[in-house]
Structures are given as structure tokens and as C-alpha cells.
Amino acid sequence: MLREALFAKIHRAVVTQCEPDYIGSVTIDPDLLDAVGLRVNEKVLVADVTNAQRFETYVFKGRRGSGEICVNGAAANRTGVGHIVLIMCFCHLTLEEMRSHRPRVVIVGPGNTVGRIIEYEPE
């Protein structure tokens, strides 16, 4: 049996742009993607800390070093520039895999930079 578990999280990024007329997705600075191991086109859950909205979308790669967090498409109407968001990705693991899995989390620094990276402890 597989269980769903946190794979990675970008913690407390600030939305820098919203583009409702864009095709879709969330555009993220590759420095943040690399810090937690997220990939282009990967499904993510975005939780807006500012207004309590949540939405699913997928990852687009932005410009490296830009600090860019741009919410595109219909989801742009569920957040706003300056809002604080959590961007989470989940994976499916067996119970055995869960015993050693350590989700990576980037604590976002000023300007949406990589502040520090932590790994949650397994059970």
C-alpha cells in the first residue's frame, strides 16, 4: 500500500507577480526549486498564508536569482502580489520508505532567496 507524504516545501515565499491571462502554473526561481528538488511540470499545492486560499497547479521554471514567484492562470485570482505562500509537493511511499524519508524544506529568506534548508525527521 502506498501512502501520500510530503516530498518538499518552499516555506513562506512572497508572491511577486500574478498573471491571470497566462496559460497556467506557478513560475518559481530555479534556486528555490533546486534547494528542495522540485522539477518543472511537477504538481504542487500552494497555500496562501495571507488569505487562507489553497490551490493546485504545476511548476514552471523562472529566471535564476530573480526571486520570482509568479502565480499564473486562474489561480492568480486566489492570491495577490505580496501574499505569503507555502508551496508543497507530495509523493507516494510505501510504509518502509516512509520510515527513512526526509522531506526537504527551504525556509525562504529576504527577496525569495534560499534562507536555509532543513529536512524533517522520519518517524
Active site (catalytic) residues: 25, 58
Q: What's the rounded Cα separation, in Å, for the pair 111 and 102?
A: 26
Other residues' Cβ atoms within 10 Å of the Cβ of residue 102: 11
CB atoms within 10 A of CB 64: 12
How many C-beta neighbours within 10 Å does residue 21 have? Answer: 7
Contacts of 93 (CB under 8 A, 6+ apart): 2, 3, 5, 101
**Other beta carbons less than 10 A from residue 16's beta carbon:** 18
